Structure 1
Amino acid sequence: MIRTLLAATALCCSMPAAAKTITVEAGADAQERLQEALILAEPGDVVELGAGTFELTDGLSLDVDQVTVRGAGMDKSILSFAGQLGAGEGLLVTSDDVVLRDFAVEDSKGDGIKSKGADRIVYHAIRVEWTGGPKASNGAYGIYPVEASDILVQDSVVRGASDAGIYVGQSKNIIVRRNTAIENVAGIEIENSFDAEVTENLVTGNTGGILVFDLPNLPQMGGHNVLVARNAIIANNTDNFAPEGNIVASVPAGTGVMVMANRNVQVVENAMINNGTTNVMVVAYTQSFDDPNYDPTPRDVYVADNVYGRAGFAPDFEGGKQLAAAFGGALPAIVYDGLGKGLIVNDAVQVLNLGLTRVGQPPTEAKPSLHRQDGAGETVALSPIVLPASMEAALK
């Protein structure tokens, strides 16, 4: 009998505590109460944010696995960092299997929400905004998952980031869908990542709409297999307000989609309208680098079945206005620097090939020519991204 009781006691003590909901309301001492809730949360717990504005003076952090942070809605539960004293992110997540949903982050001094090494993370119905409009002093990234696997960013809104509204870097197995990115330097950026889908988003009023980049001298390089499909990429003509020295500071205002040094990228079934430089730009990375394993040229980029509106009426790069004048006052819907290999365009639009012959060559040395490549070739469809079932289940 005693042995049975001891065994039952040991079993009870070894079982995890039942999942619980920790509710935090706005009001006095919100900083301490909310950070304490994030520290004391255990796997399976929900940290519930009440409606109202949480006035915060420092960044928040979460490093417990399997925690959900849930608000009352992206316009109801607001984490305001307008009084933030440090320069870090609003919220930093470093744990796995986390769900962030239904709340807002405003006016953080650094990035809005950053997750690093956080696998199987969900951003759902999140709003990140710098309420003073586009400024170089705004935080760099709005929603910023990096160095992770299995990432879902959906139904969210980001405005005012001085680098990228939604940025996914050095990661794999990624879905970015049904989001709205407004008045950022880059609306959505996929960088040095493998296997990503960017679908059904609205990107408007940014400097560049959707960027697919691969950069040198990073732990993960060789970005590839990126689908950009069924997005509305409209009037991304905001002057570039990135701080000098940032990679995106070189993105021309008026760029719809920009593919740089990436491989096996498909740009299909998008609506691209009123982008002043061009609707699609395919180029090499032009800055100096010393990494022998890095290929700076774009390869196997497929553009097909898109809807094109007005474009190229205000090209924002060196020699762009002169080129536009030479081609009747506007650049074509697609601009390609001529480097790399495997650009296939199956749309009945003109392509401006700048005819560059070496990486880093200035556009002023271009030998441009126009091509119409309707029916120029086919490509193999990318495999659909499949996320773990647990991620979708966590949203129910």
Structure 2
Amino acid sequence: MTSKHLIGVCLAAMIAACGQNTPKPESPTEQLSAEDTLMQQLIDAKAGDVIEVPEGKLSFKRGLSLTVNGVTIRGKGMDKSVLSFSDQIAGAEGLLVTASDFTIEDLAIEDAKGDALKVNEGNNITIRRIRTEWTNGPKTENGAYGIYPVQTTNVLMEDNVAIGASDAGIYVGQSKNVVVRRNRAEYNVAGIEIENTIGADVYENVATNNTGGILVFNMPALKQAGSTTRVYDNKVFANNLGNFGHAGTPVASVPAGTGVIVNSNDKVEIFNNEISDNKTSNVIISSLFETGYSDDEKSDTFDPYPESIFIYGNTFSGGGNAPDRAGLEAARVALFGEDGSFPDVLWDGYVDPAKMVDGKLPDDLRICVDNGDAEMLNADAQNKYAAPALVTDEHKCTLEKLPAIELNRER
């Protein structure tokens, strides 16, 4: 071989070797950060897509949104895939979804400037194994809602965790056909709240260390009034956190030390729960008049009175020993002494006079307590707690039981 040929062979070998060590150009997706990739996937999403959120903490300065039906967002676990909004400078939510046939599961949303996860006007919504949390503890400056579907239908919320919301940790509002099960709510103003919703089953949840454990509310001036909620097989205990809600909001009226509270809602069953050590009362039944709404905020068609409430089969213990209202505390001492406690069911005493027949409500509109030796107190709130009295015997009755919720889907 001539020297010229040898040099050519060596050069070819060197070029081949260099080619083996030269990295291939990155694709546009590979050049993006994990945060940018997720944002782009949400923008480009199509029906049927499954968007995978990697393990680790992803930090966002702007809120995320999804507007396409039929998408699933899936992480690696609520303690593994974390969407952090601690540096958020834009957006009213961490993640806003305006879509149907939507599933989100196995991730966390932390420190959103507003609501953590909001789903608006969608059908067939599944929210599963999601953690929403404000990591600096309960503060008025935290976002209002952790998990927040509103004006939705066929909603399943299961195995979630909500911590630190300045309104409600797990909330569903103005919706229909809802199941809320096996969630844990802690260190929120309201742990779990069902508001202006028609048809909800709330069961096998844990609500503790909130201001109020489980709320079933109706508020005026909204698109629909709610009814037909079953609250059962839950553990609701030691919800004695000071109320840190924004002044003027309905939830700011909830006394610290409330287990389950029904306000202005109808056809509610509370049964087979373990409810204990809630210092104002284990169960409160109240009207809109106790929420601080002024007369000009009320609708002429809105019914402010709770009716058709059935309480049975619960296990009560502790509670009622340090109510979070001066008038209630004075009533407790006057009726039961310094060391005494309120009974397990506390009612504000408001009744709709327009519905009275021969001095009492029709049987199907009554508040019924058929719960062993549990007693009920009329707090006489309309007279500023001037003449509270036990009314257990008058409310020893039963109501027709409500049907179970069927979601009519598999997803």
CA contact (8 A) 1:255 1:277 kept: yes
How far 1:116 sits from its partner (Å)?
0.3
> In the alignment, which of 318, 326, 349 is matched to residue 338 of structure 1?
349
Q: Which amino acid aligns with 2:343?
A: P
CA distance in 1, matches of 2:368, 2:231: 15
Q: Which amino acid aligns with 1:345?
A: V
CA contact (8 A) 1:344 1:373 kept: no
> In the alignment, which of 267, 272, 290 is matched to residue 264 of structure 1?
267
How far 1:374 sits from its partner (Å)?
9.8
Partner of 1:295: 303
Q: Which amino acid aligns with 2:140?
A: A
Say whether residues 1:29 and 2:33 are aligned partners. yes
Partner of 1:18: none
C-alpha distance after superposition, 1:78-121 (max 9, x if no partner): 00001111251100000000000000000000001000001110
CA distance in 1, matches of 2:288, 2:59: 42
CA distance in 1, matches of 2:279, 2:202: 22
Give the match's secondary structure for 1:379.
coil
Give the match's secondary structure for 1:253.
coil
CA distance in 1, matches of 2:379, 2:86: 45
Partner of 2:97: 93
CA distance in 2, matches of 1:390, 1:202: 25
Segments of structure 2 that go 5 or more residues without pairing to the other structure are 1-28, 352-364
Say whether residues 1:273 and 2:273 are aligned partners. no
Counting only pairs closer than 5 Å after superposition, residues 139-150 of structure 1 correspond to structure 2 as 139-150=143-154
Partner of 1:202: 206
Say whether residues 1:363 and 2:384 are aligned partners. yes
Give the match's secondary structure for 1:36.
helix
Q: Which has the larger radius of gyration?
A: 2
Q: What is the RMSD computed on CA atoms of the aligned residues?
A: 1.7
Q: 1:281 to 1:59 in 2, by over 3 A?
A: same
Segments of structure 1 that go 5 or more residues without pairing to the other structure are 1-23, 392-396
> In the alignment, which of 312, 323, 337 is matched to residue 331 of structure 2?
323
Partner of 1:187: 191
Q: 1:290 to 1:157 in 2, by over 3 A?
A: closer
Partner of 2:19: none
CA distance in 1, matches of 2:384, 2:224: 29
Number of residue pairs matched by the alignment: 361
CA contact (8 A) 2:328 2:379 kept: no
CA contact (8 A) 2:366 2:395 kept: no
Q: Equivalent pairs: percent with the same residue? A: 45
Say whether residues 1:377 and 2:397 are aligned partners. yes
How far 1:314 sits from its partner (Å)?
1.1
CA distance in 2, matches of 1:87, 1:134: 21
Point out the structure with the larger helix share: 2
TM-score of the two chains, using structure 2 as the length reference? 0.85
Counting only pairs closer than 5 Å after superposition, residues 1-396 of structure 1 correspond to structure 2 as 29-221=33-225, 223-286=226-289, 287=293, 288=295, 289-326=297-334, 327-328=336-337, 329-340=340-351, 341-347=365-371, 348-356=373-381, 361=382, 363-364=384-385, 366-373=386-393, 376-391=396-411
Q: 1:48 to 1:173 in 2, by over 3 A?
A: same
How far 1:226 sits from its partner (Å)?
0.3
